[in-house]
A and B are shown apart, each in its own frame.
Chain A
Amino acid sequence: MSGVGLEVGTLKVTMDEIAADLARDFAGDLEDVRIQEPDTIVARLAREKLKDVARRLKAHEDLAYETLNFVAAVDLGAQLESVYHVYSWRTNTWIELHVPVPRAKAEVDTVTDVWPAADWHEREAWDMMGIRYLGHPDLRRILLKDDFVGHPLRKDYVDLAENHPHV
């Protein structure tokens, strides 16, 4: 296995150093970078920059955020949010990327080509929250049935009679 940091935490760095590295290499991309104790960096990111930044985070020579842990979709009322939780084997730390998605046009680029693990998580976010991941290879519903109407985890979701044909 070449190029895969499979020993956990081979690079000993403090969270402050990681935050400084990110501020230097991703100036203008990552906003509001802050440390969530003990081992997570939280940052905000514009959706246009997501794919490019994801690639660079994965390829970063020191930090190497290689494994996507999960994608969570959150309804913040005024807008939606797609949250990516990514693990760096080399530093044994996590980064949490918050990507705002407007309600009216809930679309964001897929990251399945960067982190293959995103596949099902993005399908789930589409299923539950109605965020369309552009370029996803197979964006079908995953937990709900194929002909379900609406996205139930949105706060304005109203339960529809056609979703309960047997009641």
Chain B
Amino acid sequence: MSDFFLTAEAEPDEAVKLALRRIDEAQAAGQGSDVEGLRLNEVVVNMGPQHPSTHGVLRLVVTLDGELIKDVIPVVGYLHRCKEKLAEKRTYFQYIPILDRTEYVAGMNCEWAYVMTVEKLTGIRPTRRAEFIRVIVGELSRIASHLVAVGTFTADLAPLGTAMAFYTFRDRELILDLLEEVSGGRMMYNYLRFGGVRYDLPSGWVEQCRDVMKRMPKLIDEYASLVDDNAIFLQRTVGKGVISQQDVVDYGITGPNARASGVELDLRRTRPYSVYPELDFEVCTAQHGDVFDRYRVRMDEMRQSVRIIEQCLDMLPRGPVQSGSLRAPYVVTPPPGSCYVGQENPRGEYGTYIVSDGSRYPYRLKYRDPCFCNLQLFPKLLRGNKIADAVSISGSMDLVLGGIDR
């Protein structure tokens, strides 16, 4: 029973001990509180893992001096499902659905990263129609993911309550319906295959998608009109949690978080894959790297995704959606070797590093998850801010714990 209930003699865990030790060290170095020998104002507070604003099971051990954050120790792993170990006992094909469950907000993009790695190892080339379908579903997934990010982020800040979250989640269903029609699943797609995709687009789908894309820019403008001029929203976001370009370089920050700091790092452009070189779109950046810029970059990216999808629908060629024989995607045995392929996920560079020993099972599979890398910057970003800003900054980083914990 004592494992489940906190008793008086329960030991604090390693993270809390570390926080307490750091306070002692600071005090010994004369940087502690102003009264000698007393931990005057410094309190160690657990934020999470069940805190609603942590968007999952992120736990922050926060050392507070009044309202000021002195130190933060993120604790992750509450959602660890042994995904890297699971790869050892599954064939390459059997492993595809597990990718949907790593970063479950943008499952399609995660599948894509894995499928691209295996394709590179084996030399399988997807058909041209399949490439276009992949870009379409990938960008749809990006819009859906950004809608979640923007909606929950504004709900955390609460100048509007959860109004905007309701709108974004309502319109996300438009996109999830499209993805459901194409793959059979709302969020757990299991759609991409080595050398192609599972099903061709159903009849009438292209027109339906065009219709949603026509409505999307207006909807995005509607969200923007709700918060962009809101004084409370601006006060809580502008100039808060600035990520410098040096941080981007040091900590490997990627995705909208890096682009908001003025870095034009977008793997769709800098390490082009699929048919992106043929498409016309802008890499959205902002200058200040603060919370507001990260929000704005996501809004701009949704508009660019709409542009990409519309172009793909126009250019969509006829032909098969699967290369090779019918059996080809099910039995894949890459030659011995290793390789890493990164892909531009809505949150940044998502990729898998696969070591093959020539058998039907991956010998070792390792994820490079953007949130895992971005979260490392957290202590540096939060130090010196007010505790209330921890919520807005963590919301603007758009963390998905399923990806971090794997």
Chain A interface residue number, banded: 35 or more
Please state if A68 and B270 are interface contacts (CB–CB under 8 Å).
Answer: no
Q: In the bound complex, how far is the Cα of B123 from the Cα of A18, in angstroms?
A: 25
CB of A24, distance to nearest CB on chain B (Å): 25
Q: What is the distance, in angstroms, from A16's C-beta to the closest C-beta of chain B?
A: 19
Partner of B353, one of A68, A70, A92, A128: A70
Interchain CB contact under 8 A, B366 and A72: yes
Question: Residue-by-residue, is A38-82 near B (CB-CB < 8 Å gives 1, otherwise 0)?
Answer: 011000000000000000000000000011111011110000000
Interface of A, secondary structure class, is loop
Q: Are the C-beta atoms of B353 and A67 separated by less than 8 Å?
A: no
Kindly state the separation between the CA atoms of A72 and B353 in the bound complex, as whole angstroms: 8
Which of A72, A94, A146 has the most chain B CB within a 10 Å cutoff?
Answer: A72
The answer to whether A36 touches B364 (Cβ under 8 A) is no
Q: Chain B, interface size: which category?
A: 35 or more
Q: Report B-chain residues with C-beta under 8 Å of the C-beta of A119.
A: 376
Q: Given A8-B270, A9-B270, A146-B14, is A89 in contact with B249 using a C-beta cutoff of 8 Å? A: yes
Instruction: List B contacts of A144 (CB < 8 A).
Output: 77, 80
Residues from chain A with Cβ under 8 Å of B246 in the complex: 1, 4
Asked if A66 contacts B77 (CB within 8 A), the reply is: no
- Residue A140 interfacial (CB < 8 Å): yes
Complex Cα–Cα for A147 and B263 (A): 41
A7 to B264, CA, bound (A): 7
A161 within 8 A of B: no
Q: How far is the CA of A132 from the CA of B340 in the complex (A)?
A: 24
Contact with A along B377-406 (1 / 0, CB 8 A): 000000000000000000000000000011
B: residues with CB less than 8 A from A are 3, 13-15, 18, 76-77, 80, 82, 84-85, 244-246, 248-252, 262-265, 270-271, 338-340, 342, 349, 353, 355, 363-364, 366, 368, 372-373, 375-376, 405-406
